Amino acid sequence: MRIGLFVTCLTDTLFPDTGKAVVTLLERLGHQVEFPVAQSCCGQMHFNTGYRAEAAPMVRGFAAAFDGYEAIVTPSASCAAMVREYHPVLAEGDPALARNVAALTPRVHDLATFLTGVLGVTDVGAYFPHRVTYHPTCHSLRMMHVGDAPLRLLRAVRGLDLVDLPDAETCCGFGGTFAVKNPDVSAAMCADKVAAIRQSRAEVVCAGDNSCLMHIGGALSRMRTGVRPMHLAEILASGDAE
């Protein structure tokens, strides 16, 4: 299977370790991964903030960069959802592009459901001896419908102590530009999420999206909680090096 990694602009720029972890993980499972260097951004921030004209060229860029891949895997359920749900909307009015987008979007997967659904694995051979809680991000849950795939993957990690997160399915308050346009409500939501994480007594909070983790992690660090945010890919790529 020809797998293209859609790393996303945020992970590319700020969290390269997550991208490296996806490569390590998929290679360990016997797959070769390509990184089409022509990729840039899915356009979600612009689209969700109302700048549709600015987002439209990114749809064309995405379709060109990933043309020909059987599977397009991304460590962001939110960006995967943007491509699946809204690239067809932005491609309206350009029949050729709309056709390309329609052919491409079903092949776009977030990492968790790609592993459990497409590759059919839950035990990826990882070892991570820490107490971890999992925050199901809104778009993974309600747009990509990942269900319990990430939890099944985490439960199969050796040494990992998975603890429940109270009110897990409540939004952390990131919401892209929402965090800046409505900073008071966003921070109030984040404060409640941090309180729930502390209540779980986890050392690590895990999620399938670096955007939400950047938000939660920003508050965890500001409050000196000592709880570490970590992308699912990085936990799944951990092995017993010792």
Partner 1 sequence: MTGSMPTYLGMPAFPDAAKRAVANSQLRRNLTHATTAIRTKRARAVAELDDWEQLRQAAKAIKDHTLANLGTYLLRLEENVTKAGGHVHWARDAAEANAIVANLVRQAGADKAVKVKSMATQETGLNEALEAQGTAVIETDLAELIVQLGDDLPSHILVPAIHRNRAEIGELFRRTMDDAPAGLTDDPPQLAAAARAHLRHEFLTAAVGISGANFAIAGTGSLVVVESEGNGRMCLTLPRTLISVVGIEKVLPSWQDLEVFLALLPRSSTAERMNPYTTIWSGVTPGDGPRDFHLVLLDNGRTDTLADRTGRQALRCIRCSACLNVCPVYERAGGHAYGSPYPGPIGAILSPQLRGVDSPIDASLPFASSLCGACYEVCPVAINIPEVLVEQRARVVESQKHYSERIVFGASGYVLRSPRRLAAAQRVASLGRFVAGRSGRIRRLPPPLSAWTDTRDAPAPPPESFRAWWARTKGDRQPSGARERIRDSLRKDSR
User: Residue 44 contacts by C-beta under 8 Å, 6 or more apart in sequence?
Assistant: 55, 78, 79, 82, 86, 176
Nearer to partner 1 by C-beta: 176 or 239?
176
Nearer to partner 1 by C-beta: 7 or 112?
7
Beta bridge partners of 229: 205
Nearer to partner 1 by C-beta: 29 or 185?
185
Nearer to partner 1 by C-beta: 41 or 202?
41
Residue closest to 7 by CA, chosen among 84, 48, 66: 66
What is the rounded end-to-end Cα distance, in angstroms, of the chain? 32
* 210-222 and 183-200 helices, crossing angle to 10°: 80
Burial label for 236, CB within 10 Å (0-12, 13-18, 19+), is buried
Nearer to partner 1 by C-beta: 112 or 171?
171
Least gap, CB of 112 to partner 1 (angstroms): 18
Least gap, CB of 31 to partner 1 (angstroms): 13
Show the beta-strand stretches assigned E in 101-155.
Answer: 108-110, 131-134
Least gap, CB of 108 to partner 1 (angstroms): 18
Least gap, CB of 115 to partner 1 (angstroms): 20
Least gap, CB of 123 to partner 1 (angstroms): 26
